[in-house]
């Protein structure tokens, strides 16, 4: 069944069964492999994307339920959050990197709703994202740093 | 003479090119013909396996080790670039296929820098020497007068300079020198400093290629349903679906015998589809009847009871481990302390579950997969396909980025599944393990038990110390008859226990498990460091002593330690002074003597593994019935290190990894089947539980490089147990900790 989607600002179409989770539509049918499979059960956050601006677990979202909401993935994140992505790079946040698309998408959604999150805000927003490599302290520091850079209004 | 000096002695090569863009034509005044020796040959310099310099000045470093987050692709490039005096911004990293010509490629055991530091330094230094020689020849000046500096060779006397890219072709014509001078460590500018990982930008833009990210034309995806117990195979599939759109078919894979051929697939029913989700959905609904195997009766609880029982009897002594007379010392009496410690099976659970892409054709086989050892995988794949020894080059194995591994991906069983299915289907096949497959069908970190018994003085010093360990050995995967722990497993924190004890003996016992076991980040060090560090803490507590003060007292005074059992490589003998130093440093770093709030405790542990020394202090309390770790302090002495920032990151990660296993990690088996299946029942530490972490690196001081990826893990769990004891007075001797 052909389903129309709005992904990273573009209209795209995928021919999939309606119960197919958005994760697999992105990965297998649209070639957007930046979004990762980690558990398929909503536990790990590796598959996090933005749906209408909110962080969602794409492995838990049947594509039929997406309707016309805007979907944004890691592939377009740097356009909207250059400070965040750059801070991540400069701080060597990623180790293996497999969880990091999900981490970044959760972090971006947090910053979209909260320009200067506290540690407690970060705990609340980021605890759905597992990092087996254990990059949490750098994620925390980099969210704070990116928030500051954004507040200063540039990539200083 | 050459065109540049003839025309304009003061014009630098770079400036000149900047004006003309084309060297030969632009260099000549009208009517001038370039003489042959005046022209620098254009070409690519490849003085060895690891380095290529192209005419545009790009340095390509070949990483023959696999990247799994430990930053090895960056570190290897830093080493080469430093000795080459390259401009870091012009260095790129390529990934090597598995090939014997590179030497050891088994990215495992925290050895990549240890094994490759010298040879990669000389790879860079050789190229630097050749570039200098090429420039000296070109300018007709003595070699000693030209220096390499940041991608250029400079002749200061005449103020001339040539870029590396321009010199590459000329240098390539020179014989490769057998020896090239290495820099003094004070001259290093990349080695020992931070570099942003070469893959960091790709990863942050969603562009890094992991195992599942590669798509080949006409590729199918398979999800394999495996027998819950080891050794069982498909007897019958009750519901063979046929009319599912996208479903290609179901292939039955035979189970391999429980031990050998090494790393053979487990067998099962492979559901093959055009896309992952179709394969997953069909696999989920398959009703399969399995054949029996003896492992169907396996129960991890029974195994743990057997391990505890084994500790009650004398085990196999570690050769030469007996010092003094332990039995006489116990018979003579005194304050006796004894305790039993237990740790469970663990699953690796790398964030990226096993996945592999294989394409078997009449010509050969290519595999792209997150593999820790592409070279051994290549050999196993060749023999799996029945290739003769001389046909080995028909197999190409290229590692992708590894989405975590921790030892899991040194076992290429998942790649062999893809190879077998591609061979049968005659098209490229990706095998995707689901998280449930990963948790249930791992090569599990072995469950274990230790018993420590000591006679202690009123200062808590051990006059006699008997230690026993029991666990299923990793060698059980390799040989059907194997049972006893191997000496290399005992060398991981058991036979090299560093304390000064007059009467001492070390004994071990093994058992055959009904599951596959395998090495997981820091391996047997996990349980040996756990039990020894907690027991030492118990000695101190029994005598009412400060744990760090006590520990420093029970260590030998200093110097290199002679240990029984397996011996360390030359130059890597356990150095008590270094052990003492990391303890002293972590005492300062954690402000150990500063009183903490009521209910908050500090716990300390120290361990030598993978030739490195790590001391850890955790600050913990119990809040709302759960352990809470607020701060972690880690001091690492890994000798000479390459990327300082990576070393810090590995310690940060090790704290999280260690806390995951200390607080949550528990895999159990009933009726042969693993009870857990996903992150809801095999939880990982999360952001809200992650402590603030402070790491200190001991300066390199010209020492041999040692391990970084693993040695941060062993001290974490015992430091937590000791901190909780300090906070609450309760002693937890089994992992995971249940308060
Ligand atoms: S893959 Fe979606 S939450 Fe884990
Ligand atoms: S960086 Fe490896 S799982 Fe997070």
Residues B356, A37: Cα–Cα separation, whole Å: 14
For B731, residues 6+ apart whose C-beta sits below 8 A from its C-beta are B534, B538, B721, B725
Over residues A105-112, the mean pLDDT reads 98
What ligand 1 atom has the least distance to the C-alpha of A42?
3
Residue of A99, A104, A138, A139 to mutate, ligand 2, most atoms within 8 A of C-beta: A99
CB contact under 8 A, B201 and A89: yes
**Closest residue in chain A to residue B273, using alpha carbons only:** A28
CA angle, corner A38, sides to A35 and A40, nearest 5?
A: 100
Residue A98 Cβ inside 6 Å of ligand 2? The answer reads yes
**Banded pLDDT at A154 (limits 50, 70, 90):** low
Structure tokens at B319: 């050769």
User: Ligand 1 atom 3: the closest Cα is on which residue?
Assistant: A42
Closest in A43, A104, A134 to B653, CB measured: A134
Q: Is B350 on the interface with A (CB under 8 A)?
A: yes
**Predicted local confidence at residue B38, as pLDDT:** 65
- As a whole number of angstroms, the distance between CA B186 and CA A11 comes to 57
Tokens of B207: 């562009």
Say whether residue B652 is in contact with chain A using an 8 A CB cutoff.
yes
- Domain positions in chain A: 2-76, 77-152
CA B241 / ligand 1 centre spacing (Å):
27
State the pLDDT at residue B17: 31
**Residue with structure tokens 């954004």?**
A150
Mean pLDDT along residues A44-48? 98
Please tell me the predicted confidence (pLDDT) of residue B391.
Answer: 83
Tell me the nearest-neighbour CA distance from B521 into chain A, angstroms: 11
pLDDT in the model for residue B150: 97
Same topology, domains A2-76 and A77-152? Answer is no
CA atoms within 13 A on the CB side of B254: 3
| Residue ranges around ligand 1 (CB below 6 Å) | A 37-40, 42-47, 57, 59
CATH architecture of A2-76: Roll (3.10)
Report chain B (739 residues): mean pLDDT per 10 consecutive residues. Answer: 32 32 33 53 94 97 94 96 97 95 91 91 96 97 97 97 97 96 95 96 97 97 97 95 94 77 88 98 97 96 98 96 96 96 98 98 97 94 90 93 97 97 98 98 98 98 98 92 94 97 97 95 98 98 98 97 95 97 98 97 98 98 96 98 97 98 98 98 98 97 94 98 98 97
Distance, in Å, from the CA atom of B268 to the CA atom of A31, rounded to the nearest integer, reads: 29
Q: What values do phi and psi take at B403, rounded to 5? A: -80, 65
Supply the pLDDT for residue B16. 32
State the pLDDT at residue B10: 33
Which ligand approaches the C-alpha of residue A24 most closely? 1
Least CB–CB distance from B276: residue in A17, A28, A85: A28
Whether residues B68 and A73 touch (CB distance < 8 A) is answered with: no
CB A93 near ligand 2, within 6 Å: no
Cα B278 to Cα A45, A98, B253, B273, B549, distances in angstroms: 22, 23, 19, 6, 61
* pLDDT of the residue at A63: 96
CA dist B148 and B160 (Å) reads 12
Burial B178-209 (b: 16+ CB within 10 A, else e): eebebbeeeebebbbebbbbbbbbbbbbbebe
> Residue B360: which residues within 8 A CB-CB, separation 6 or more?
B385, B419, B422, B423, B426
Under 8 Å between Cβ of B127 and B191 = no
B353 touches chain A (CB under 8 A): yes
Q: What is the pLDDT of residues B520-559, one digit of tens each?
A: 999 999 999 999 999 999 999 999 999 999 999 999 999 9
How many CB atoms neighbour CB B297 within 10 A? 12
- Record the tokens describing residue B200, joined without a space: 């960091």
Full-prediction pTM beyond 0.90? yes
Distance CA B441, CA B292 (A): 17
Place of tokens 């792209």: B368
SS (H, E, C) chain A: CEEEEEECCEEEEEECCCCCEHHHHHHHHCCCCCCCCCCCCCCCCCCEEEECCEEEEHHHCEHHHCCCCEEECHHHHHHHCHHHHHHHHHCCCCCCCCCHHHHHHHHHHHHHHCCCCCHHHHHHHHCCCCCCCCCHHHHHHHHHHHHHHHHCCCCC
Contacts of A92 in chain B (CB under 8 A): 71, 194, 196-197, 200, 645-646, 649
List of residues 6+ apart from B388 with CB closer than 8 A: none
Distance CA B46, CA B525 (A): 41
User: Which numbered atom of ligand 2 lies nearest the CA of B352?
Assistant: 3
How far, CA to CA in Å, does B291 sit from each of B125, B226, B254, B267, B288?
A: 60, 11, 11, 11, 10
| Long-range own/partner contacts, residues A116-122 (CB < 8 A, 24 or more apart) | A116/A147, A116/A148, A116/A151, A117/A143, A117/A144, A117/A147, A122/B687
Maximum distance among all alpha carbons in chain B?
104
Mean pLDDT (whole number) for A141-150: 97
CATH architecture of A77-152: Orthogonal Bundle (1.10)
Closest residue to atom 4 of ligand 2, CA basis: A131
Report whether A110 contacts A122 (CB < 8 A): yes
- What does the alpha-carbon distance between residue B447 and residue B469 come to, in Å, rounded to a whole number? 11
Question: pLDDT tens-digit profile of B157-174?
Answer: 999 999 999 999 999 999
Q: Give the side-chain half-sphere CA count within 13 A for B503.
A: 16
Based on its alpha-carbon atoms, the radius of gyration of chain B, rounded to whole angstroms, reads: 29
Torsions phi, psi for B323 (to 5 deg): -120, 140
Question: Positive or negative CA dihedral for B31, B37, B39, B43?
Answer: positive
Chain B segment 176-205 residues within 8 A of A by beta carbon are 194, 196-197, 199-201, 203-205
Q: What are phi and psi of B314, to 5 degrees?
A: -60, 135
Tokens describing residue B124? 């860079």
pLDDT at B641: 97
- Tokens standing for B726? 């300090």
Q: What pLDDT, on a 0 to 100 scale, did the predictor assign at position B259?
A: 46
Provide, as residue numbers in chain A, all residues whose Cβ is less than 8 Å from the Cβ of B194: 92
CA–CA–CA angle A35, A6, A85 (5° rounding)? 40
Query: Token pair of B223, please?
Result: 């999800």
Query: Which pLDDT score is estimated for B633?
Result: 98
From A45, A56, A73, A127, give the residue whose CB has the most ligand 1 atoms within 8 Å, as the site to mutate: A45
Domains along the sequence of chain B with CATH? 13-204 (3.30.365.10), 213-294+354-433 (3.30.365.10), 300-346+443-728 (3.30.365.10)
Question: Tokens standing for A16?
Answer: 């999939």
CA distance B556 to B576: 7
Distances (CA, A) of B676 to B225, B437, B441, B692: 16, 10, 11, 30
Nearest by CB: B686 against A32, A130, A137: A130
């Amino acid at each position: 069944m052909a389903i129309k989607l709005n992904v990273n600002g573009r209209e795209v179409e995928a021919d999939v069964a309606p119960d197919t989770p958005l994760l697999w539509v992105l990965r297998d049918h649209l070639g957007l492999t930046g979004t990762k499979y980690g558990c398929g059960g909503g536990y790990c956050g590796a598959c996090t994307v933005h749906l209408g601006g909110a962080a969602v677990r794409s492995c838990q979202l049947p594509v039929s339920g997406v309707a016309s909401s805007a979907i944004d993935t890691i592939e377009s994140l740097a356009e909207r959050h250059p400070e965040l992505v750059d801070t991540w790079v400069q701080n060597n946040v990623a180790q293996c990197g497999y969880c990091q698309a999900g981490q970044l998408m959760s972090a971006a959604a947090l910053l979209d709703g909260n320009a200067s999150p506290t540690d407690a805000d970060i705990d609340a927003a980021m605890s759905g994202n597992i990092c087996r490599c254990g990059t949490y302290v750098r994620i925390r520091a980099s969210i704070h740093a990116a928030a500051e850079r954004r507040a200063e209004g540039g990539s200083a | 003479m050459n065109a540049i000096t003839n025309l304009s002695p003061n014009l630098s090569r770079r400036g000149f090119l900047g004006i003309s863009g084309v060297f030969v034509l632009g260099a000549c005044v009208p009517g001038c013909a370039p003489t042959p020796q005046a022209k620098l040959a254009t070409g690519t310099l490849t003085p060895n396996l690891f380095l290529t310099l192209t005419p545009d000045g790009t340095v390509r470093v070949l990483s023959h080790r696999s990247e799994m987050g430990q930053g090895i692709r960056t570190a290897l490039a830093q080493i080469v670039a430093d000795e080459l005096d390259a401009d870091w911004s012009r260095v790129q990293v390529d990934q090597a296929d598995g090939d014997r010509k590179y030497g050891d490629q088994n990215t495992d055991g925290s050895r990549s820098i240890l094994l490759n530091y010298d040879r990669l330094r000389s790879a860079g230094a050789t190229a630097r020497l050749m570039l200098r020689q090429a420039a000296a020849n070109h300018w007709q000046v003595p070699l000693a007068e030209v220096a390499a500096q940041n991608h250029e060779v400079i002749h200061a006397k005449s103020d001339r300079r040539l870029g590396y890219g321009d010199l590459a072709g000329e240098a390539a014509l020179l014989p490769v020198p057998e020896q090239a001078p290495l820099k003094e460590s004070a001259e290093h500018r990349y080695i020992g400093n931070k570099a942003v990982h070469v893959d960091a930008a790709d990863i942050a833009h969603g562009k890094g290629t992991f195992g599942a990210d590669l798509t080949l034309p006409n590729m199918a995806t398979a999800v394999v349903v495996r027998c819950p117990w080891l050794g069982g195979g498909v007897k019958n599939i009750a519901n063979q679906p046929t009319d599912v759109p996208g479903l290609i078919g179901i292939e039955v894979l035979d189970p391999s015998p429980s031990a050998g051929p090494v790393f053979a697939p487990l067998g099962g029913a492979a559901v093959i589809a055009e896309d992952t989700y179709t394969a997953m959905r069909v696999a989920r609904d398959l009703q399969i009847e399995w054949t029996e195997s003896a492992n169907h009766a396996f129960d991890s609880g029974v195994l743990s009871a057997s391990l505890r029982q084994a500790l009650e009897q004398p085990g196999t002594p570690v050769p030469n481990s007996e010092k003094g007379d332990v039995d006489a010392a116990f018979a003579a009496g005194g304050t006796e302390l004894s305790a039993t410690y237990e740790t469970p099976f663990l699953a690796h659970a790398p964030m990226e579950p096993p996945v592999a892409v294989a394409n078997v054709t009449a010509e050969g086989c290519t595999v792209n997969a997150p593999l820790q050892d592409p070279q051994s995988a290549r050999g196993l794949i060749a023999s799996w396909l029945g290739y003769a020894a001389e046909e080995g080059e028909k197999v190409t194995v290229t590692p992708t980025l590894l989405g975590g591994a921790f030892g899991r991906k040194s076992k290429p069983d998942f790649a062999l599944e893809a190879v077998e299915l591609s061979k049968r289907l005659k098209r490229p096949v990706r095998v995707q393990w689901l998280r449930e497959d990963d948790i249930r069908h791992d090569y599990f970190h072995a469950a274990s038990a230790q018993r420590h018994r000591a006679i202690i003085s009123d200062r808590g010093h051990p006059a006699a110390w008997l230690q026993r360990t029991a666990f299923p050995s990793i060698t059980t995967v390799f040989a059907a008859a194997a049972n006893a722990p191997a000496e290399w497993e005992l060398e991981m924190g058991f036979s090299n226990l560093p304390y000064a004890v007059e009467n001492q003996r070390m004994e071990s016992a093994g058992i055959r498990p009904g599951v596959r076991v395998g090495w997981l980040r820091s391996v047997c060090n996990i349980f040996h460091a756990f039990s020894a560090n907690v027991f030492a803490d118990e000695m101190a507590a029994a005598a009412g002593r400060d744990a760090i003060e006590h520990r420093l007292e029970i260590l030998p005074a200093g110097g290199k330690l002679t240990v029984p059992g397996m011996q360390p490589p030359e130059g890597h003998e356990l150095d008590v002074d270094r052990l003492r130093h990391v303890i002293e440093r972590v005492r300062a770093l954690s402000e150990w003597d500063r009183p903490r709030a009521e209910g908050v405790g500090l716990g300390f542990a120290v361990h030598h593994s993978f030739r490195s020394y790590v001391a850890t202090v955790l600050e913990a309390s119990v809040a709302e019935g759960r352990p809470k770790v607020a701060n972690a302090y880690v001091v690492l002495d890994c000798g000479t290190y390459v990327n300082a920032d990576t070393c810090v990151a590995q310690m940060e990660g090790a704290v999280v990894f260690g806390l995951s296993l200390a607080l949550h990690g528990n895999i159990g088996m009933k009726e042969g089947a693993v009870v857990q299946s996903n992150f809801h029942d095999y939880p990982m530490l999360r952001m809200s539980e992650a402590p603030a972490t402070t790491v200190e690196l001991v300066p390199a001081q010209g020492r041999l490089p040692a391990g970084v990826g693993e040695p941060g893990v062993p001290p974490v769990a015992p430091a937590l147990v000791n901190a909780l004891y300090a906070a609450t007075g309760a002693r937890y001797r089994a992992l995971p900790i249940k308060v």
